[in-house]
């Protein structure tokens, strides 16, 4: 089973930069996308891609903000949007598709750079997500993909030292990823690649992508029970269309 995740930084913009052409050829069974920036009445305004159905969750609190979606061939048993805690609803940050063998999440985790209040919200969202995932995991394994908005270790960004006080690489944010991993969630990319220099997001400024001055903030995690099923995990840094690139996962299911 081939799964992808991609922060498209505006689905309408990405559609004009080859998103659907990429989707036609990537061979995915399920593609989770983040930061669609759609409004509810725009969700059906995209060309159909042969073989895929779609589901979206858009922000109800601000236009052109946040939003996630899933393109899928494999029919889910159920689809849910947002976390159960209403404090973390309304921004269109999560879709949950239940499959026979696992729960699939695509999540656009909050960014903490807008100030202390948003950092607190981000950390609260992290904790609420982990609690929800653990509750579901009691019955079925978990696959979670998306823009986590945090680089976990110094290997996961180009300029670690100069970003130690920047949200996205703060000790408290990285500590939550330590907690997540300790709870039994596997960073699948790190199963296959132990070195640095592999990124999924580059600032549009300063020719950052051309110079590969980036951050790895887009992930596929699986709960430990699925580790033996992971065949490969990768980053498609050559795929354009956003300031992020697609990341992929293949499971033997």
Q: Which one of the listed residues 29, 117, 147, 218 is annotated catalytic?
A: 147
How would residue 176 be classed by pLDDT, with cut points 50, 70 and 90?
very high
Q: Are 98 and 142 in contact (CB under 8 A)?
A: no
CB hemisphere CA count around 193 (13 angstroms): 15
pLDDT digits (tens, 9 = 90+) for 88-130: 999 999 999 999 999 999 999 999 988 899 999 999 999 999 9
Residues present in the chain in total: 253
Domains belonging to the chain, first-starting first, are: 2-251 (3.60.10.10)
Q: Is 178 a catalytic residue?
A: no
SS3 183: coil
Q: What is the pTM of this model?
A: 0.96
């Amino acid at each position: 089973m081939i799964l992808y995740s991609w922060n498209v930084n505006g689905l309408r913009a990405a559609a004009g930069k080859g998103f659907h052409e990429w989707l036609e050829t990537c061979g995915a069974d399920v593609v989770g996308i983040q930061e669609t920036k759609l409004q509810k009445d725009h969700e059906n305004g995209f060309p159909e891609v042969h073989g895929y159905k779609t589901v979206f969750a858009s922000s109800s609190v601000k236009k052109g903000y946040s939003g996630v979606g899933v393109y899928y061939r494999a029919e889910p048993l159920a689809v849910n949007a947002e976390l159960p805690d209403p404090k973390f609803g309304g921004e269109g940050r999560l879709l949950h598709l239940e499959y026979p063998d696992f729960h699939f999440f695509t999540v656009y985790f909050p960014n903490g750079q807008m100030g202390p209040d948003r950092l607190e919200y981000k950390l609260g969202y992290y904790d609420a997500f982990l609690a929800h995932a653990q509750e579901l995991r009691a019955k079925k394994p978990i696959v979670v993909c998306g823009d986590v908005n945090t680089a976990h270790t110094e290997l996961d960004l180009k300029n670690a030292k100069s970003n130690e006080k920047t949200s996205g690489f703060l000790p408290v944010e990285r500590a939550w990823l330590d907690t997540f991993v300790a709870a039994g969630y596997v960073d699948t990319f790190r199963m296959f690649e132990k070195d640095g220099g592999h990124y999924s997001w580059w600032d549009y400024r300063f020719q950052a992508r051309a110079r590969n001055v980036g951050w790895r903030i887009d992930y596929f995690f699986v709960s430990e029970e699925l580790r033996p099923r992971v065949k490969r995990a990768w980053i498609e840094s050559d795929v354009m269309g956003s300031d992020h690139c697609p990341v992929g996962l293949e499971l033997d299911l």
